Amino acid sequence: MRRKIIDKLYDGIIALFLSIVGIIMIVPLLSVLATSLSKSIAVEAGKVFLLPVDITLASWRYILLRADLWRSFGVTFLATVIGTTLALIITAFLAYPLSKKYFALAKILGVFVIITMIFKAPIIPYFLTIKNLGLFDNFFVLVLPHTVTAYNLVIMRSFFSQLPADLEESAKIDGAGYFKIFWRILLPMSKPVMATLGLFYSVMIWNQFLHPILFIQSQALFPLQLRLRQYITAGEDLVNSSITELLDYNDVTLKSATIIFAVVPILMVYPYIQKYFVKGAMLGSVKG
Amino acid sequence: MGLKENIKKYWELYLMVIPGIIFFILFKYVPMLGITIAFKDYGIFTGIKDSPWVGLKHFKAFFEYPDFWRVFNNTMIIGFLKIVLSFPVPIVLSLLLNEVRNLKFKKTVQTVFYIPHFFSWVIIAGLTFDLLSANGVVNSLLGMLGYEPILFMQRTEYFRLIVVLTGIWRDAGWGTIVILAAISGINPSVYEAAKIDGAGRFKQMLNITLPLLVPTLLVLLLLQIGRFLDIGFEHVYNLLTPMTQSVGDTIDTYVYRVGILQGQFSATTAIGVFQSVVGLTLVLAFNKLSKKFSEGGII
């Protein structure tokens, strides 16, 4: 009996603690959401915590009518779609032969890839290389450098090497070549790993900041994160402060709306892929 | 079977790896060769190949540079704080999560914990500025307690802590994934034995789970130490303000500013090389130490 009470108490304390941590993790988002939906006067008076005060969509209307934000959204969206597709194909093309023992280069190429995990070129030589490749201020600089990461390759290789070889063998006897086996048999069996790495690659490309700030100069090619920086932290005023007194939005509420705007796509994809990515992350870290 | 026959038999596989190999050569290996410019006087018009060799000139130069030491110190301090303060957090969270028996609650909490990992640093910086602004949540709470608002983001004394805390906020939950996996690999019979000996759940956590995690934790620590000087450009850059430059400028942000924006390619590459060498040395040294430590632990 006493043991039971102690156990209950123990469970309760842990649940309480974890809930508090969870709330701390989510509060910033809620507070920013509330700010984006509140009237600027209420925000300035410091009345807004987690719930909007004097609810208004004014900030959202303003943000959603900004053509430059949508343009950047488009650039990032395109880069993410093209980049993720390309990355998955090229990573899989490299990982598949590497998972075969009878492929003579499997070991050497494995080392070739792993070395890049340990030694990374400093930023300046990297910058000069990309420039020499003609990728400066070029849309493809948002895509091509993310084609393979060693970490993702290792995850995919170990996934492929676990798959049963029988199906492949029988296809081979039926006269199918490796490309056919790859598209028809291997890929359909690889949904979990494709979903995981698809998420990893797309989040990486969606959130990328270093490549854009190093290599993108024309406003027309600004991806979302650079635009967000312009809006959120670069200290640029979005609206003329002398007129904000008359409006329901101000810099703070607009920044908040922008933050939520940028987070929504990730939050929309997240629940669908969660079941896969935990496995993927584990596989990568245990074997990598 | 020779290579020739192997190629003949599996030519499709050889074709498949070509795009990937080209990628690694162009984007990883060619830049590595570019390290040579640290030992040269690189000029934009002469190119890497034709720039004259100058030996260790740039390395000597930055050691005499007061700016470099300021940046180096900032990087060391933030790196050190990061390891000391953020390393234990996912461990504690994992141990606690492992104790939760209500699976629905556990899953909900985990979902929330993982989310921040997917936010960009721009967003996180935006959230941070928002929360810590003059009329943000934190100052409103302080105001209710009767304190004057503090402009956290512009005060040098808070900057490093803010960097570390935002890092914890983003990645502590994500870090639990690996540790929870390691915990689930522990043989359940060890717990059974402990239960028979009368150990309660807290004692089991302290005397079984934690010690059996040590090898995994050592690997994780090793990886972190390897990235000791690699604070993360995007993270710091987005939080920096002109007012916090003096305490927050790290090697990465410095190299960006002086190297790329001001075109001092050779000098800042030397700093980059130095950074990599320090990182590698730390890993090797710690690796040796941890081997000694775990051997000593057996006796």
CB contact under 8 A, A148 and B24: yes
Q: Does A94 touch chain B (CB under 8 A)?
A: yes
pTM across the whole model? 0.90
Q: Does A250 touch chain B (CB under 8 A)?
A: no
Helix, coil or strand: residue A49: coil
In the structure encoding, which two tokens stand for residue A129, read together?
């290389």
Could you tell me what percent of chain A has a pLDDT over 90?
53
Q: What is the pLDDT of residues A53-66, one digit of tens each?
A: 889 999 999 999 99
Q: What is the pLDDT of residues B36-73, one digit of tens each?
A: 999 988 887 777 777 888 889 899 988 888 889 999 99
Question: pLDDT band at A241, cuts 50/70/90?
Answer: low
The answer to whether B253 and B184 have CB atoms below 8 angstroms apart is no
Residue A92 CA, chain-centre distance (Å), reads: 19
Rounded distance between C-alpha atoms, residue B102 and residue A131, angstroms = 54
Residue B278: CB atoms within 10 A of its CB come to 17
Q: What is the pLDDT of residues B222-265, one digit of tens each?
A: 888 877 888 889 999 999 998 999 999 999 999 999 999 998 89
The residue of chain B nearest to residue A286, with distances taken between CA atoms, is B178
The residue of chain B nearest to residue A230, with distances taken between CA atoms, is B122
Among residues B13, B28, B29, B22, which one has the least CA distance to residue A92?
B13
CB contact under 8 A, A263 and B181: no
CB contact under 8 A, A124 and B93: no
DSSP state, A53?
S
Q: At what angle do helices B210-226 and B66-86 cross, to 10 degrees?
A: 160
What average pLDDT does the segment B265-290 reach? 87
* Tokens 């890993």 found at: B283
Tell me the residues of chain A between 170 and 199 that have a Cβ less than 8 Å away from chain B.
Answer: 177-179, 182
Rounded distance between C-alpha atoms, residue A174 and residue B235, angstroms = 54
Q: Does A256 touch chain B (CB under 8 A)?
A: yes
Helix, coil or strand: residue B40: strand
* Tokens 């340990």 found at: A118
Rounded distance between C-alpha atoms, residue A198 and residue A156, angstroms = 11
CB contact under 8 A, B181 and A14: no
Q: Does A259 touch chain B (CB under 8 A)?
A: yes
pLDDT at res. A242: 59
pLDDT at res. A287: 43
Which residues does chain B have within 8 Å of residue A258's beta carbon, measured at their own beta carbons?
Answer: 126
Angle at A113 between CA A111 and CA A117, to 5 degrees: 105
Helices (H) and strands (E) in chain A, counts: 14, 0
Helix, coil or strand: residue B53: strand
Q: What is the pLDDT of residues A147-199, one digit of tens each?
A: 999 999 999 999 999 888 888 888 888 888 899 999 988 999 998 899 989 99
The residue of chain A nearest to residue B36, with distances taken between CA atoms, is A125
Rounded distance between C-alpha atoms, residue A23 and residue A25, angstroms = 5
CA distance B292 to chain A (A): 23
Which residues does chain A have within 8 Å of residue B99's beta carbon, measured at their own beta carbons?
Answer: 10-11, 14
Rounded distance between C-alpha atoms, residue B172 and residue A288, angstroms = 20
Among residues A135, A106, A157, which one has the least CA distance to residue A217?
A135
Which residues does chain B have within 8 Å of residue A266's beta carbon, measured at their own beta carbons?
Answer: 118-119
Rounded distance between C-alpha atoms, residue A159 and residue A100, angstroms = 12
A235 Rama sector, left if φ>0, alpha if ψ -120 to 50, beta otherwise: left
Among residues A273, A249, A259, A278, which one has the least CA distance to residue A61?
A249
Q: What is the pLDDT of residues A101-126, one digit of tens each?
A: 999 999 999 999 998 888 888 999 99
CB contact under 8 A, B178 and A285: yes
